Amino acid sequence: MRIVCVAGARPNYMKIKPVMDALEARGAEVVLVHTGQHYDAAMSDVFFEDLRIRRPDHFLQVGSGSHAVQTGRVMAAFEPLLEELRPEAVVVVGDVNSTLGCALVTAKGGALLGHVEAGLRSRDWEMPEEVNRVVTDRVSDYLFAPSPDAVANLRAEGYRTDQIHLVGNVMVDTLLANLDRALASDVLGRLGLARGEYALVTLHRPANVDDPAALGTLLAALDDLSRECPIVLPAHPRAAAQLRSSGMSERVRVIPPAGYLDFVALQASARMVLTDSGGVQEETTVLGVPCLTLRDNTERPITLTEGTNQLVGRDRERIVKTALSVLAAPPPGRCPALWDGRAGERIAAVLM
């Protein structure tokens, strides 16, 4: 059985790897396609090395562009490849433009389509990812949900029960598989950080980094917080230029995007994480590290109800007040059911 697995951007690599491994263990012929949505060494190559993913079989080189240009390039490049490969199924992960582009092509191209991370909903139509999630689910044959809330969303939207599979969280498969190697990283020493004493920050949502007023408010909050504990911020390329021109406080240490093992090490030893990332909300929940999400909503509510995550929005006072209370008394968290390192195996069992 030939199955095409698609990855295109940073959060895709850690999601596709356990699915590939489990499919290959069951005897499938896996063809790995990298769309090239992310292409910098720090946004792509480092993850192939850290996660020991083999070189992609096909590289579509779509690069950056507006939503229409990027999604269109993915579609135009993926269509002839799908015709050539004629796989039984295609697996897409997450909610990036590459996910949507390959999903649309597959839906019309004859292969079965599986969506890993189906059913997540922020109900915020200003997020491009919400459009990608809803449309990808709509054209998928197999909906692999990470949590019961995602299953409930899919049921409410009228999907057939036999399409929906509660399989757990593939991002957690990769986290657990690599945790020991990550904890052996010397990144804290290299950055001069002490275990349990700093806050780790990531920012890359357009709503936070593209609007100078919104970014200015977040940076003011980080400046306030940096008086209480050191802050390190590995900057996503979307944020890097804005951070340079924004007069960021010197107490906030901006560094290049971190590799996976270093970033997991930084999360695991942080006193607290402040982020607008989807995946980081999940990883902090599993690591039991307090997480403040710098958004008004989340498509991952289980990290709020069971994990360590709190939504703090974009209000300076609220962010600082919540951060200080977390520093004083870190909230407890527990790991959601099926976030156990075996989601990839469950997906492969269904597909095969």
Q: Identify the DSSP state of 276.
A: -
Site string for ligand UDP, 272-311 (x = CB under 6 A): -----xxxx--x----------------------------
- Contact flag: residue 173 with ligand UDP (CB under 6 A): no
Of 193, 201, 208, 189, which is closest to residue 296 (Cα–Cα)? 208
Q: Kindly identify the residues of this chain, within the stretch 224-253, that bind ligand UD1 according to CB under 6 A.
A: 236-238
346: region left, alpha or beta (phi > 0 left; psi from -120 to 50 alpha): alpha
Q: Identify the DSSP state of 329.
A: S
Q: Kindly identify the residues of this chain, within the stretch 309-328, that bind ligand UDP according to CB under 6 A.
A: none
Site string for ligand UD1, 120-159 (x = CB under 6 A): --------xx------------------------------
Q: Which does 257 bind (CB under 5 to 8 A by kind): ligand UD1, ligand UDP, none?
A: ligand UDP
CA distance 321 to 128: 30
Q: Identify the DSSP state of 162.
A: G
Q: Are 90 and 112 in contact (CB under 8 A)?
A: yes
CA distance 287 to 160: 34
Write the CA distances from 106 to 110, 192, 256, integer angstroms. 6, 48, 35
- Contact flag: residue 234 with ligand UDP (CB under 6 A): yes
Q: Which does 34 bind (CB under 5 to 8 A by kind): ligand UDP, ligand UD1, none?
A: none
Write the CA distances from 185 to 158, 181, 189, integer angstroms. 46, 7, 9
Q: Which does 40 bind (CB under 5 to 8 A by kind): ligand UDP, ligand UD1, none?
A: ligand UD1
Active site residue 204: yes
Q: E-assigned strands of 159-225? A: 164-166, 199-202
- Contact flag: residue 10 with ligand UD1 (CB under 6 A): yes
Q: Which does 83 bind (CB under 5 to 8 A by kind): ligand UD1, ligand UDP, none?
A: none
- Give the range of 64-72, 116-124, 182-190, 260-268 binding ligand UDP by CB under 6 A: 260-268
CA distance 225 to 318: 12
- Give the range of 81-89, 154-162, 189-197, 256-264 binding ligand UDP by CB under 6 A: 256-264
Mind telling me the catalytic residues? 204
Positions touching ligand UDP (CB under 6 A) are 10-11, 14, 202, 234, 257-258, 260, 263-264, 277-280, 283
